[in-house]
Structure 1
Amino acid sequence: MIPTRVHGVIDYLVGIVLILAPYILGFADGTAAQWVPIIIGVATLGLGMITRHELGFVKIVPMTTHIIIDVASGLLLLASPWLFGFADRVWWPHVLVGLSYIVISLLTARHSPVESTVRA
């Protein structure tokens, strides 16, 4: 199992990578290919900041809910090249990060030590 603290670090890194990837990898063209990872990256950073884990700033969202949202985000990112019709131009970054995020989320501990000290 991946500890929730490590998952928190991964969240912040993945969020930044998703925001920067279109510019670094050359698909910042104003289309869904660019905006899907940017939006998911911003959402990932925001979710990490409000999750009840060691690296959350405002501990609102339970870790289990966070993991469910991460898996859904990974699935959306994975499918986005075909859902939004840009698979003919770029697909591998979306698929690679989407799959990685699903696997990481499924391997993460479901409860943070912080959750037991924070009331719902």
Structure 2
Amino acid sequence: MNPFISRSFYGVINYVTALISMASPWLFGFAHVGGASLFLPITIGWVQLIMAIFSNNSHGFIKIFPMPTHNVLDAFSGFILAVSPFLYGFAFIENGVFLPHLLIGLTFLIAGVFTHGSPFVNEEAHQEVVGWDNH
């Protein structure tokens, strides 16, 4: 797989998507549904924002969190958010409740996988996350 997202653009995507994720229950009008549909995007958005602030990239402010680990956690949390409407059963409670979760989750997932230096597309970064060497 070839990475097509630069680290600089990734930093911007991360902040914007984290803020949209946190505000999504009110932006898209499903805050009244409650439960996992409300809790997950807010929680994952906060985690993403904290990781973005502490990430060791050009847009991180504190620069202590390794980017390969951030990429893996982005992909994992994006997957969880994308499947959550179907996993927790609120996908078809009301029209369109699942769509923000799916789109924001896929954004995190794609950004985590296809960013330059991601362990999913870079063997050296993969070994850094896994913590072992083939030598």
Give the AA of the match of 1:15: A
Q: Residues of 2 paired with 1:85 and 1:50: CA distance? A: 34
Question: Structure 1: 5+ residue runs without aligned partners?
Answer: 112-120
| Cα deviation, residue 105, structure 1 | 2.0
Counterpart residue number, 2:133: none
Counterpart residue number, 2:46: 42
Q: 1:65 aligns with which of 66, 69, 73?
A: 69
User: What whole-Å deviation, never above 9, does each CA across 1:66-104 have from its counterpart, x for those lacking one?
Assistant: 100000011000111122221122211111121222122
Give the AA of the match of 1:66: H
User: What whole-Å deviation, never above 9, does each CA across 1:21-48 have from its counterpart, x for those lacking one?
Assistant: 1101111123211111011111110000
| Cα RMSD for the two superposed structures | 1.3
Q: How many residues align?
A: 111
Give the AA of the match of 1:100: T
Once the two structures are aligned, what percentage of the paired residues are identical? 37
Q: Residues of 1 paired with 2:54 and 2:107: CA distance? A: 22
| Moved beyond 3 Å, runs of 4+ | none
SS at match of 2:52: helix
SS at match of 1:11: helix
